[in-house]
Amino acid sequence: MTEIGSAPLTGDTMVGGDDVIEDARASLWRRWLRNPSALIGGIIVVLVVASAVISLVWTPYNPLAVDPSHALSGPSLRHLLGTDEYGRDVFSRLMASSQVALFVGFLSVLIATVVGIPAGLLAAERRGATGQVVLRLADILYGFPALLAAVVLAAAFGASKTTVVLAIGISYIPVFVRVTRSNALVVLNSEYVLAARAYGRRPLAIMRRHVIPNILTTIIAQMSLLFSLAVLAETALDFLGLGTAAPAASWGTMLQSSQNYLGNDPLLTVWPSVAIVLCVLGFSLLGDGISELRDVRSSR
C-alpha cells in the first residue's frame, strides 16, 4: 500500500515533472516548424512587421519625395521596383504602406477583442435573458456590413484612418462574441469547471483561471485570421478613397492611382497587389497554423 505513489497503478508511462514541460515547449516549437501553414505564415508576418518597423526609421527614399524627372521609370538598380507617376520610389512607398496596414489591422482587432471577448464571456456565463440580449445585439451588428459602416462614418466624420479602424473594428465585434461564447461554453460545461465550483470558486475566478487560459489559443488564431481580413478591408476602403488621404502611402491608394497607368507601367499595379496578397496570406496562414497546432495538442 505504501508504494502506490511510486509506481503507476495502471500501465501509464511516468515521466518526470519539469522535463515534460520543457519537452512540451520544445515539441511545440518543432511542430511549429513542421507545420507549413504556421511556418510560412509566421515568416511572412515577421517580414511584414519588420518592413513596417524599419520604415519608421529608414526607407531607401523618402516615400513622399517627388522626382518628376524619374516618373514611371520602371525597375532599376536605383529604384528596385521603379517609380510612380510622380517619380516616388515604389519600394519605399510599399514599406511605408505596411505601417498603415498593420496600424489599422492591429487597432481594429484590438477594438473587436476588447469589446467582443468580454461580451462573449458574459453571454456564456449568463445564458438567460442577459446572454440572449448580448447575442441579439451581436446579430444586429453582424447584419451591418463593414463597408457600409465605413461609408457612413466617412460621410459623417470625413475619411481617415480612424474611421476605417472604427468601421472594421466594430464590424468584427460579433465574430469575437460568437467565437468566445461557444468556446467558453465548452469549458464551462466541463467536469473540471464543475469540480472548481465544488471547491467554492466564484464565477469570475472560474472565468479567469479556467475559461480564459483554455480558449486563448482559439482566440489568438481567430485574431490572426481577422487581422488578415482587416488588412484586406483597409486596402479596399483606401482604394475607394474612404480611408488614407491622398499623398500618404497605402497599398489601397497605390493600387487606385496605378489604374491610370495600367498601359504605361502595368508593374505599378502588380507591386501593391503582391504586397496585399502576401500580407493577407501571411496572417491567415498563421491563424490556420495556430488552430492546427492547438488541435494536435488537444488530440494528444
By CB under 8 A, residue 22 contacts other proteins:
no
By CB under 8 A, residue 294 contacts other proteins:
no
Residue 158, Ramachandran bin (φ over 0: left; ψ between -120 and 50: alpha; else beta): left
CA gap 232, 237 in Å, rounded? 9
By CB under 8 A, residue 3 contacts other proteins:
yes
CB of 286 to other proteins, least distance (A): 22
By CB under 8 A, residue 20 contacts other proteins:
yes
Interface with other proteins (CB under 8 A), residue from 29, 144, 157, 192:
192
Interface with other proteins (CB under 8 A), residue from 127, 132, 144, 266:
127
By CB under 8 A, residue 5 contacts other proteins:
yes
Q: Are 122 and 130 in contact (CB under 8 A)?
A: yes
Q: Are 205 and 275 in contact (CB under 8 A)?
A: no
Residues numbered 207 to 226 that lie near other proteins (CB under 8 A) are 210, 213-214
By CB under 8 A, residue 198 contacts other proteins:
yes
CB of 135 to other proteins, least distance (A): 15
Measuring CA to CA, how many Å separate 23 from each of 18, 35, 39, 126, 217? 9, 18, 20, 39, 19
CB of 32 to other proteins, least distance (A): 19
By CB under 8 A, residue 190 contacts other proteins:
yes
CA gap 214, 192 in Å, rounded? 12
Q: Are 69 and 87 in contact (CB under 8 A)?
A: yes
Q: Give the Cβ contact number of residue 82 at 10 Å.
A: 21
CB of 33 to other proteins, least distance (A): 23
Measuring CA to CA, how many Å separate 198 from each of 165, 194, 206? 44, 6, 11
List of residues contacting other proteins (CB under 8 A): 1-6, 8-10, 12, 14-18, 20, 127, 189-192, 194-202, 205, 210, 213-214, 300
